[in-house]
Amino acid sequence: MASGLAEFVVIANRLPVDRITGPDGETTWRKSPGGLVTALEPVIRRKGGAWIGWHGAAGEKLRPFEHEGMNLVPVPLSEEEVEEYYEGFSNATLWPLYHDVVAPPEFHREWWDAYVRVNQRFAQKAAKIAKKNAVVWVQDYQLQLVPTMLRELRPDLRIGFFLHIPFPPTELFQQLPWRRQILEGLLGADLVGFQMPGAAQNFIRLVRQRVGHKTHRDTVYLPDGRTVLAQAYPISIDAAGFEELARTPEVIARAAEIRESLGNPKVVLLGIDRLDYTKGLRQRLRAFGELITEGALDVDDAVFIQVATPSRERVGQYILLRDDINRLVGRINGDVGRIGQQPVTYLHASYPREEMAALYRAADVMVVTPLRDGMNLVAKEYVACRYDEKGALVLSEFAGAASELKSAYQVNPHDINGMKQMLLAAINADPRENARRMKAMRRQVMENDIDLWAANFLRELNAVRDPHAKNPRPV
């Protein structure tokens, strides 16, 4: 961004860095572990691009800064905006509404006002730093108004939007008092990307019904001659990076150490999730607890490790869930545990990628049972780490990943008995059968990684017809 202006701009709720405070109180930044930054970092570097996002602390204004070749532009949020825009409208209205209302969404007018205000701030930042004809890629449900706000400020830009979470069926979306504004906000983009084709269809149908624009298949025709394309781009992971990590002697040794510290049980089951009510933690723990109580699994033979990463800890539904899971784990261990033999090892903590890779390698059965999930990258990470073609994946049919990972042991997480049967099937399967399934899943994951996802989206964004230009602009 030598000229002070960027040719490629990513806008996301969070910056791709975490602040680290050293023992002497000095703070530094460390790149966040997510796949999105892995995929976009090279494009940002190559293009002299920039990433606009919140730096994670309320009430603090920071100047733009550079980190490992990326220009980072922090957006400040006041304490009140964190409560109303982030915890409120984003995570207590949109998040449950977009996840099949598995928790009741709350509708508050002052939260909406904060959402509008903060989206405007993000759009203004982008308008200020984007070069003429730049490409801007807006990420996720926190920023659905940005595309149109930005287009109003800068009609020359090429704007893409990607929704990382599900887009709900029309019947549920209609509950939102601001449904029309959200749809109109998204229509500022040239390309709107979703995880699943069904989500793109929901969006197109809603635009036709609620906004009244003409649509044909995946295209919306706006009165000014512009078109908006809505398509599915299933997101993925840095698959080669995970496999490489899983192959390191340190990770292999750590995986053996984990099994050893559990008393070398015959079967290790594993769940790794953000502590979120969409993830189906209750259902999976109940299924496992019942298998032990009923004697289908022996407490000496089977251990369930559940890692629950702390998340959105001040939001009411997350506080309730945390208490609920604490109680459930306590009950299972209290009822069926023995001295030195706890069936559930529950860890409310977040771990570095190396430890995750070791856990994946240590687990015979990975249990991923969300009630609704846009994609679920943990399922893909497990598959990427199992280059040994060992292990089995039990996967909810309500995770986006289920349409790609067809060889997983697929379950309906609401059906506890069905889930118990599938857990036993995965545990007792002939290793050759599990190897066959893992091989098929690995082909899918290793060939369709996060780089391909980003390249596909950006290629399509570049190709979208611009009614005002003769030639498409290069990305």
- Residue 315 CB, shortest distance to ligand F6P, in Å, is 9
Paired tokens of 67: 């980190």
Nearer to ligand F6P, 226 or 312 (CB): 312
Residue 239 and residue 330 in contact, taking contact as beta carbons nearer than 8 Å: no
- The smaller minimum CB distance to ligand F6P, of residues 13 and 369, is found at 13
Site string for ligand F6P, 114-153 (x = CB under 6 A): --------------------------x-------------
What tokens does 40 get? Answer: 């976009």
- Count of residues near ligand F6P by CB under 6 A: 8
Does position 309 interact with ligand F6P (CB under 6 A)? The reply is no
Contact pick of 44, 165, 176, 281 for ligand F6P (by CB under 6 A): 165
What does DSSP assign to residue 472?
Answer: P
Residue 388 — φ and ψ, nearest 5°?
-80, 0
Judge contact between 147 and 181, C-beta under 8 A: no
Minimum distance between the CB of residue 121 and ligand F6P, rounded to whole angstroms?
17
Asked whether position 99 contacts ligand F6P by CB under 6 A, the answer is no
Which of residues 12 and 269 has its CB atom nearest to ligand F6P in the complex?
Answer: 12
Q: Which of 6, 7, 10, 14 binds ligand F6P (CB under 6 A)?
A: 14
Considering Cα of 38, then 40, then 46, then 49, what sign does the dihedral take? negative
Is residue 226 near ligand F6P by the rule CB under 6 A? no
Task: Tell which one of 125, 154, 312, 372 touches ligand F6P (CB under 6 A).
Answer: 312
- Contact between 442 and ligand F6P by CB under 6 A: the answer reads no
User: Which tokens go with 327?
Assistant: 């109680």
Cβ distance 448 to 234 under 8 Å?
yes
Output the six-digit token pair for 49: 């691009």
Asked if residues 445 and 237 have their Cβ atoms less than 8 Å apart, the reply is yes
206, two tokens:
């809603």
DSSP class per residue in 80-128: HHIIIIIIIIIIIIIHHHHTTTSS-----HHHHHHHHHHHHHHHHHHHH
Q: Indicate the residue among 41 and 218 with the shorter CB distance to ligand F6P.
A: 41
310 CB-side CA count, 13 A: 5
Q: How far is the CB of 395 from ligand F6P (least distance, A)?
A: 17
379 near ligand F6P, rule: CB under 6 A = no
CB nearer ligand F6P, residue 255 or residue 377:
377
Q: Write the CB contacts of 236 (distance below 8 Å, at least 6 apart in sequence).
A: 35, 377, 380, 445, 448, 449, 450, 452, 453
User: 120, 311, 345, 350: which one contacts ligand F6P (CB under 6 A)?
Assistant: 311
- State the minimum distance, in angstroms, from the CB of residue 312 to ligand F6P: 5
- Residue 150 · residue 190 · CB < 8 Å: no
The contact pattern for ligand F6P, residues 248-287, with x = CB under 6 A and - = no contact, is: ----------------------------------------
Longest Cα separation, the chain: 75
Please give the residue ranges that form the binding site for ligand F6P (CB under 6 A): 13-14, 34, 140, 164-165, 311-312
